[in-house]
Structure 1
Amino acid sequence: MKSVKVVVVGAGVVGFSTAVCIAEAFPCCFVTLLAEKFSPDTTSDGAAGILFAAEFPDIPLVRQRRWFKDSFDHLLAIAQSQYSPEAGVMLSSGWQIFKKIPDDWKPFWSEFVIGFRLMTDRELKRFPDHKFGQAFTTIKCECLSYLPWLQKRFRKAGGQVQQRKVNSLQELSDSYDIIVNCSGLGSKGLVGDTEVYPVRGQVLKVEAPWLQHFIRDGDGKTYIYPGMHSVTVGGTRQEGDWRLQGDEEDTKGILARCSRLEPSLSKAKVLSEWVGLRPCRRNPRVEWELVQLQGRRVPVIHNYGHGGWGVTLAWGTALDTVGLVRQCLQEMPLQAKL
């Protein structure tokens, strides 16, 4: 009999990755995922979902490396399996280009992607404004397919899913033994985290089946990512901007910038426009605490604040969360006596 009740709040890529990992790791737990919005209406659904990372300032690099490697290995196994088209996970090769040589010209994640090398002068010639570049093969994970696939996997592991808005942790304290908070930007209200803030991203999906390689400007604002059914072009990074409507000037700017890098895009048909708010924080929060709720101390595990790197780090931070759940389970008999 499943004796420990665990609830995961949030149905984005971090929430579902975490729910799957917990449900599969602990048959003794009855895991429920609660969220107000599900695919295709989560922030994750619009993500380009290409795997490489930024470095967070206050998290040990060994931990960041583990997050990236665990996520990459997990998605690589899917990309090389029969589930690749259903899960929306594929290998993707291309270039990241810079106007000047970056300080971190060989980033920590370079050893985990496939075939990382510096671009040749011949390759760089097509980008006359850029002086330096990296070529590698990574993974593209399209959440419009991946989230429903994860949900099926979660249900297969015995998990339950409920659509419900959670306004406070107090609502959950009577029904669950462990609360796992993967609410992203919602953590601002749910747990009063003033450090989490939105960074508005706008992207377009275009029809350009002739494009086979991704191109990303090292400034992080201009990118072209071919996918299974369309090409994602972007984007914007507007801090503190809560607007969810598309902006016509942003659309024009995205098309102009991307067409400078890849002139053939001027012939591409725009299929759709999408806006999302990245749940940014100086560092992701992956930790647990005991919170006094309705007269008892309840373990609350946090896994949020990944910013634009949710798809990149979700599986790695989910596995870290499994370790935190294990700690809670070991200490729960003690908590019951407090």
Structure 2
Amino acid sequence: MVGGGVIGLTSAVVLAEAGYGVRVVARDAAGATTSAVAGGLCWPYRVRPYDEAVRWSLRSLEVLTALAGRPAETGARLVAGTMADGPGAVDGDGLPADGLGAWYAAVPGLRRARAGELPPGCAGGWRARTPLVEMPVQLRYLQRRLVAAGGTVVARPVASLAEAADGVRAVVNCSGLGARELVPDPTVHPVQGQLVIVENPGVEEWFTAADGDSADTTYVLPQPFGLVLGGTAREGAWSRKPDPAVAEAIVARCARFFPEVARARVLAHRVGLRPARPAVRLAAERLPDGTVCVHNYGHGGAGVTVSWGCADEVLRLVRDGLAAS
């Protein structure tokens, strides 16, 4: 297994619990990955193809909802919130015509928001109670679960898939943005996300107004460590350094809906690089030496949301590949 973010660790857990010997090799510790700074809302965002993304997301919704029964251990909680209406049209069933209508149709309890449930400045939206994941806690939980199933984690860089294949029957490539050089796959590129952590002035529900095609988004996510304010989606931007002007604009956008955050004390600034691709690559191939290689990367802004669904697919592909060896 190459890659120790949420995609790699979740895939590793599913494989190890199915009885496979698993070794995760990762350049960065889990706490230093993009996954560790993700907002953690279980909702598909900037991920394609849509049909598969919805299927993977619904599986993750099921698993994370179960894990929410142990929030201190797993980092997952069920939190009510509002997804504001986007600029797009609706389909014949009144669902957003953005390719994710099947998600809206399948999420338990999802409904149109009533006027009294909307923050000032929001004309309409959807209400749901969904998993909101504290990602550093979730990553530590996944590592413990992997080790309990007999897996191991090795901290070192991997120069090539051939190197990763040395001495193993199958390689699973969950290298995220690293796949750009490792595969190599030039279609993989960063979508930079900046966010601001502030002291929570009393916001108990999540809120997001995120146009999947916009470079600027608005979201407010109450986490145990503070209120997460976001965000940005800058295509092709590689910098991991927070921009003070961008941070100021993020706070201002969130304050349009929650005026109290304008006065909240800033605790931290964070920047992550989402590993984007025109479509997720979740497929198997044979390396030149015949080793089965399953690729699982390019999840954009939906890593935690699709992680468990993609992990199930990885298990199937590994089984099929080894059976055909």
Pair in the same fold by TM > 0.5: yes
Q: Structure 1, residues 21-80: CA drift from partner, whole Å, max 9, x if none? A: 00111x2x3210000111310100000110111475546x2x333211210111111102
Give the equivalent residue in structure 2 for 1:3. none
| Residue 262 of structure 1, aligned match among 251, 258, 263 | 258
1:100 Cα deviation from its structure 2 partner: 4.5
CA contact (8 A) 2:82 2:128 kept: yes
Give the ranges of 4+ consecutive aligned residues of structure 1 lying more than 6 Å apart after TM superposition. none
Give secondary structure in 2 for the equivalent of 1:297.
coil
1:160 Cα deviation from its structure 2 partner: 1.1
**Matching of residue 31 in structure 1 with residue 22 in structure 2:** yes
| 1:54-73 equivalences in 2 (<5 Å) | 54=45, 58=49, 61=51, 63-73=52-62
Identity of aligned residues (%): 37
| Residue 203 of structure 2, aligned match among 199, 203, 211 | 211
Amino acid across the alignment from 1:22: L
| Deviation larger for 323-332 or 303-312 | 323-332
CA contact (8 A) 2:47 2:300 kept: no
Q: Structure 1, residues 195-230: CA drift from partner, whole Å, max 9, x if none? A: 111000001111115110111113251100111221
Give secondary structure in 2 for the equivalent of 1:283.
coil
Amino acid across the alignment from 2:318: V
Give secondary structure in 1 for the equivalent of 2:24.
strand
Going from structure 1 to structure 2, the CA distance change for 1:57 and 1:232 (only over 3 Å counts) comes to closer
| 1:83-98 equivalences in 2 (<5 Å) | 83-98=70-85
CA distance in 1, matches of 2:28, 2:254: 31
Q: What's the TM-score once normalised by structure 2's chain length?
A: 0.92
Give the equivalent residue in structure 1 for 2:312. 319
Give the equivalent residue in structure 1 for 2:13. 20
Q: Structure 1, residues 152-196: CA drift from partner, whole Å, max 9, x if none? A: 000010001100100111212322110100000000000011111
CA distance in 2, matches of 1:202, 1:66: 28
Supply the RMSD in Å over aligned alpha carbons.
1.7
Between the two proteins, the alignment pairs up a number of residues equal to: 314
Give secondary structure in 2 for the equivalent of 1:103.
coil
| Residue 153 of structure 2, aligned match among 141, 157, 161 | 161
Q: Structure 1, residues 97-139: CA drift from partner, whole Å, max 9, x if none? A: 1364643634221244342111223334x433x4321111111
| Deviation larger for 110-119 or 69-78 | 110-119
| Residue 235 of structure 2, aligned match among 235, 239, 253 | 239
| Deviation larger for 103-112 or 66-75 | 103-112
Give the equivalent residue in structure 2 for 1:40. 31
| Residue 185 of structure 1, aligned match among 177, 188, 198 | 177
CA distance in 2, matches of 1:305, 1:100: 25
CA distance in 2, matches of 1:323, 1:164: 27
CA distance in 2, matches of 1:304, 1:57: 12
CA distance in 2, matches of 1:286, 1:179: 13
CA contact (8 A) 2:199 2:264 kept: yes
CA contact (8 A) 1:202 1:235 kept: yes
Larger Rg: 1
| Residue 147 of structure 1, aligned match among 139, 151, 174 | 139
CA distance in 2, matches of 1:261, 1:227: 18
Give the equivalent residue in structure 1 for 2:291. 298
CA contact (8 A) 2:292 2:322 kept: no
**Matching of residue 50 in structure 1 with residue 41 in structure 2:** yes
Amino acid across the alignment from 1:44: S
1:268 Cα deviation from its structure 2 partner: 1.1
Structure 2 alignment gaps of length 5 or more:
none
Give the equivalent residue in structure 1 for 2:63. 74
CA contact (8 A) 1:100 1:131 kept: no
1:326 Cα deviation from its structure 2 partner: 0.7
